[in-house]
Structure 1
Amino acid sequence: MKRNVIYLFMWGYQSHYRIWLENYTKNVFEQLGIKDKPKVLLVGACSPEKNNNNPICIEPEDGEWGLDLFPNLLAAIEENIKNHPNKNIFYGDALSMREKPERIRRDSVTTSVRHALKPYDENNNTQSFCGMAYPVGDYYVVPVIQVPQCVIKKTKSIEVLNWAGHTYTLSFIRACLYELLDKANDELKKPEAGRSKWGAVKVRDVLQPAAEHFLFQANQGIHGKQVQYQNEYLFEHLNMISSLMYEGEKIEGKLIIFNPDSQSVNFTLKFKEYVPIKNFRWSRKVLQMATNEVALICDGSKIYGLGKLNQDYDSAEKEVLIIEFLDHYYWALYYDNSIMMYSHYAQPELPQKLISEQDFIVNFARVFPETSKKDHQYIWELFNTSIKQLSGCMLVFASDAKEEAQRLLHQGTGVEPVLMNKELLSRVRHIDGSILLDPFGVCYAIGVILDGIANDECTPSRGSRFNSGMRYIYNDDMKAKRRLSIVVSEDRTVDIIPLLPPRISEKELESHVSGLESSNENNYHKHQSWLDDHRFYLNQERCDRSNQALDRLDAIPREVGELRWLVEHFVVSLEMDESFFLPRI
């Protein structure tokens, strides 16, 4: 039997470890509702006292990252060690002084790898997050999680000036990535890292600590050096407060976390004795007085009274955080007028970024190619009107709206055809059911109860309005009768059904199918990964060819302990057709 040889060898379970971390990261992203897939690589820099034939190692060695990305890595590490800012620091205890050189080397390895990956990130629209280097065998190993740049840009960030004068960027997604890298570092410290990491991973073990750290750092950011105001358990305390009822009433209202040394708030009522936020029942009781206009004023640890932001407050000063309690066990964190994070039953969630104007118009035009630019702008304005109010509603645009209004006459209220406008929409949205329009914005019925058969797009995790839209849009005749729905749910989520996948190059798709067919057990990863990310675009013929290649790879004999990670077989997407390919040049 042919041996499976790792030429860029660091330790025996390096591929197991990398795949474990990549799957863990993917599970976290899925829980957060992020569709873009992260990638993981390992970079090893040979220790100076070791004499190994490979000064630099990469796992996977046959992936999209070549050794040419790190031409002068070892020299850069030594230069960073020489100029490290902590080199001249003297610690008060002997142990810290003995550990200082090793800590400086590990930090310098991580810094050098991060710097070396910058050109790759710029050329591929990615961002590399590097964990702390740790010695494994002959190498200092750096785990790297690579994320599409669009994922980072989707979430609002907080810029924090730390004590040393450096500016740090904070966001919940960044906190999750750093928490993942901390867990990756903990695993690297174990003997034979990756050997026993095949049990179920607990996503909450990443999300909850990440939310705790993010909120603590955000609170620290608005207070600067004032340690007395910092509460490292603020996330837990807010969850406990939001879980409590007051005389049977659910929680609502706002809490402003401010810097007491600033002039950011005006008090309307000030308590003689502050309320400790960790006294959950007392905090919940005084919160009953708060509204959306008048909030509780807090420094993160103590509640001072009721008030509101100063009329002269400039959001550019960024000296406040705002907590809005939305419902039982449900609250949101705001900073600089943007939602940073939700917490629902102590489960932190990312705010789902609404679609941009350009992406909305492109998607609408692909569903309804007969519409004009003027129509697109008009529908975009209706879309924005539908999402401004808090109550749920659903707009359904259908190429056969007139016929559908007649067919569903006894399941709604038919109206004389009228061009929908913002004022009219703000009124008719208040009744149950959907608003039925044609692609040009002409309304034919309101309060319509949609029909349709349950399908794979439906999910029990969402409400009736969302699933109703899925049943109506995704039907056997959806290509002939083109329809699009805007679903604004009571939980403040907005869905566009269908949100079509972007167009891709058919030539690029074919190159990866052919590449998978010709690959062996040592170099299939790149093509398999790309096709797994683009499953939607494979027709029956390409599915069959790709599946045959997977079966061939799976049938190749394995060495004892050899790991071969193959994806599930490819299945044709019924919605796929030639329109999802870019025009041929």
Structure 2
Amino acid sequence: MQIKMFMWEWQHIFQPAVFRLLVESLRILKIQASPKTFVIGIPINEDANNVYFHPENCGYTPQQFQAVFSMVNDAVSNDPRQGFFITAPLNLERKSSLYLETLQKIVENIVNENDSTGEFISFCSFPVEMNNHWIMTVIQIEKEVFYEQYQLTRAIHEVHAMRYYRIDRSFLEAIIWVILSESQRELQMPSKERYDSFAEPERILEDAASNLLSSIRLHIDDMGGDLLELANAISAERYEGLGSKGRLVICRRDNPHILIKINLKVPISINNYRGIRKLLEVSSETMALLCDAGSVWGLGLPLGTYDLCNEDLFEIKFTEHYTWELVHAEHVMLIVKYRKPRLPRKRFDKEQFCDHVNRLFNVHEEALGILIEAVESAVEQRHGTMLVITTEADQESERLSAQSTVITPTPVSRELISHVSSVDGAILISPDGIVYSFGVILDGLFSKNGDRTRGARYNSAIRYIDGKNNSNIKCLAIIVSEDGYVNIYPTLKQRISRTLIDELIEDLEKHADLSKRFDGDGARATLLNLEKLSFYLLKKDIERVNTAKNIAVDRMNKHSLAEAMGRGMGCIFDQFNDFHVHEEMNHEYYLPINSCDSVMDEV
């Protein structure tokens, strides 16, 4: 069997590799999305009938690109930049570059305009010549997911009328462009068979964070320094044993929306990390270091007159050792912890909290509302605390009375939490919302679940909760950090619909049915989805899944071999390990039958 739309011999390896890299990057960030990737080949001889795609069933046809060449040529001929250089060789080179730049933009526009669902936004890589085609990688992600992230509005940085280029508006957008750039670079490498794994997701995230900070710098000063390295270095520095906490405002010196309290006679270069770290001790909620992306030149604070549409005033907020946030107009755009960039998350995920409380304690709606208020009150205090919900709150208060303040059982309230949370230690609460003690110093033995990158409060909760769970006592710890973020322990695995598992197994068995036409890409997608959800397979599912998997993989590999032989291409066989039962898995990890919740967005 031959590939009808043949562009180059490794196209069937390249496109899945880009998809896996994108999916893994989104998984690390816990973004629930169903992205798509495909490769488009625009013929160099401008024959619109030979516009090719991989996979061929990507949802687009050559007919939708019939006008692409006339559109590109018209745009290039009317671009004032084409005659910018005087010498003929430079003009020829510039016209070639303009052609490809314009081709990229117009193809991206056509892909977006012809999205049959209207639900996706598409991004297209810069063209790379491959045999007889200009090859471009396309990444598609749901508009709802993309625009859910806070983003700036300015997408172009203009150096002068004849020179301008794209800049990133959000961390997610920066990630997409880094992956597209990596795909472009890999296409230009001589050894194309390495496509199966051409970049590490964590490096993609680091490069994306660097690009986003570089874009932020361009909002302030073209000649500024490396803001990412500055923030990482400052957050890592200690001053007299203390971790970094404070504010660094990034703006021009003439920004009218800054109140300058102190001007430094000699500005401190942003490469002088220790000097800036020492000065950071002066900053507070009412005082910040002022930086123009090249040096720290003063101290002051933003005024309430700033218009976020200006996009020329940002803040790097150091929250704890090795942790900082990029903020614009009170919107957190990026969080970096131990040099690992992440998207900001909700300070308090109510849905997760309600799910955990109901699964552990099965409380009624009124009690759940009371517990939610308790956590919200703790978040508002911004000094860090811990709530422990347990069925043994009364008994535990008595047992730990020597290391806590025991009170007459009192219904929880915002006012009560606001007062007692100011004392170091945990607050013991029963599932029906009764407080029994506060300032509790929790006990507990060593736990393998400890995390040395987290603080004493978090690890104390782990030791205590693990000890109680080993005794079959139901407990839930809510750890509130000083910056108001909530962590729940233990974190229960998300519940999913059993129907989803049944549909995937049935779909896999269809791909294993020798009497039916085989869809290799569909079989691969089903197996990847089953791998992601393998925890939710019951013992009765395993034999069915492995039997169908073995047949489907055999068909996939025969299918790939036939394609390779038909074109003289290289071939890499698919491999999927056998599925196994997870000891923890039981029916409690399935949503109730009448639940409308689903994790389809994750698959």
> The residue matched to 1:84 in structure 2 has which SS?
helix
Q: CA RMSD in A?
A: 4.0
CA distance 1:508–1:86, shift in 2 (3 Å)? farther
2:52 to 38, 52, 56: 56
Q: Does residue 1:69 correspond to 2:60, yes or no?
A: yes
* 1:350 to partner: Cα distance: 2.8
CA distance 1:35–1:44, shift in 2 (3 Å)? closer
* 1:214 to partner: Cα distance: 0.9
Contact 1:320 1:335 in 2 (8 A): yes
- The aligned runs of 1:498-537 (5 Å cut-off) are 505-520=497-512, 522=520, 523-537=522-536
Q: Residue type of the partner of 1:171?
A: S
2:30 corresponds to: 34
* 1:329 to partner: Cα distance: 4.2
Q: Does residue 1:426 correspond to 2:418, yes or no?
A: yes
> The residue matched to 1:160 in structure 2 has which SS?
coil
Contact 2:40 2:138 in 1 (8 A): no
Contact 1:219 1:321 in 2 (8 A): no
2:386 corresponds to: 394
| 1:552-576 CA distance string (max 9 Å, x none) | 3455666473321436625345254
Q: Does residue 1:270 correspond to 2:263, yes or no?
A: yes
Q: Residue type of the partner of 1:131?
A: S
> The residue matched to 2:364 in structure 1 has which SS?
coil
* 1:189 to partner: Cα distance: 1.3
Structure in which a larger fraction of residues adopt helix: 2
Q: Does residue 1:155 correspond to 2:154, yes or no?
A: no
1:260 corresponds to: 253
Q: Distance in 1 between matches of 2:155 and 2:572?
A: 47
Contact 2:258 2:301 in 1 (8 A): yes
- The aligned runs of 1:94-493 (5 Å cut-off) are 94-99=88-93, 100-101=95-96, 103-105=98-100, 107-109=102-104, 111-113=106-108, 115-117=110-112, 120=115, 126-147=120-141, 151-153=145-147, 155-160=149-154, 162=156, 170-191=169-190, 193=192, 195-197=193-195, 201-203=199-201, 205-221=203-219, 223=220, 227=222, 230-246=223-239, 250-314=243-307, 317-355=310-348, 357=350, 360-361=353-354, 364-365=357-358, 368-372=361-365, 374-399=366-391, 401-402=393-394, 405=397, 414-431=406-423, 433-446=425-438, 447=440, 449=442, 462-463=454-455, 465-466=457-458, 469=461, 483-489=475-481, 493=485
> The residue matched to 2:75 in structure 1 has which SS?
coil
CA distance 1:118–1:401, shift in 2 (3 Å)? farther
Q: Does residue 1:18 correspond to 2:15, yes or no?
A: yes
| 1:337-378 CA distance string (max 9 Å, x none) | 122223344443332333555665466456554412x44433
Gaps of 5+ in 2: 159-163, 513-517, 562-569, 597-603
Q: Does residue 1:577 correspond to 2:577, yes or no?
A: no
2:600 corresponds to: none
Q: Distance in 1 between matches of 2:204 and 2:526?
A: 30
Q: Residue type of the partner of 2:128?
A: Y
Contact 1:242 1:325 in 2 (8 A): yes
1:80 to 49, 71, 84: 71
* 1:42 to partner: Cα distance: 2.3
* 1:414 to partner: Cα distance: 4.5
Q: Distance in 1 between matches of 2:165 and 2:592?
A: 46
> The residue matched to 1:564 in structure 2 has which SS?
coil
TM-score by length of structure 1 reads: 0.81
* 1:167 to partner: Cα distance: 10
Contact 2:246 2:319 in 1 (8 A): yes
| 1:32-73 CA distance string (max 9 Å, x none) | 5425366552222340528798642223x5xxxx25434633
Q: Distance in 2 between matches of 1:178 and 1:21?
A: 12
CA distance 1:128–1:565, shift in 2 (3 Å)? farther
| 1:224-244 CA distance string (max 9 Å, x none) | xx64xx414222233334444
Q: Distance in 2 between matches of 1:285 and 1:121?
A: 56
1:547 corresponds to: 546
TM-score by length of structure 2 reads: 0.79
> The residue matched to 1:563 in structure 2 has which SS?
coil
CA distance 1:577–1:129, shift in 2 (3 Å)? farther
* 1:307 to partner: Cα distance: 1.4
* 1:474 to partner: Cα distance: 7.3
- Mean CA deviation greater in 320-329 or 495-504: 495-504
Q: Distance in 2 between matches of 1:402 and 1:70?
A: 68
Q: Does residue 1:496 correspond to 2:488, yes or no?
A: yes
CA distance 1:245–1:86, shift in 2 (3 Å)? farther
* 1:500 to partner: Cα distance: 5.9
Gaps of 5+ in 1: none
* 1:503 to partner: Cα distance: 6.0
* 1:251 to partner: Cα distance: 3.4
CA distance 1:414–1:549, shift in 2 (3 Å)? farther
CA distance 1:390–1:416, shift in 2 (3 Å)? same
CA distance 1:571–1:136, shift in 2 (3 Å)? farther
| 1:75-125 CA distance string (max 9 Å, x none) | 1422531443674332305345324246424642554245425665856x5
Contact 2:155 2:166 in 1 (8 A): yes
| 1:197-256 CA distance string (max 9 Å, x none) | 4568444543333222211212322x3xx64xx414222233334444455554332221
- Mean CA deviation greater in 503-512 or 469-478: 469-478
- Mean CA deviation greater in 310-319 or 249-258: 310-319
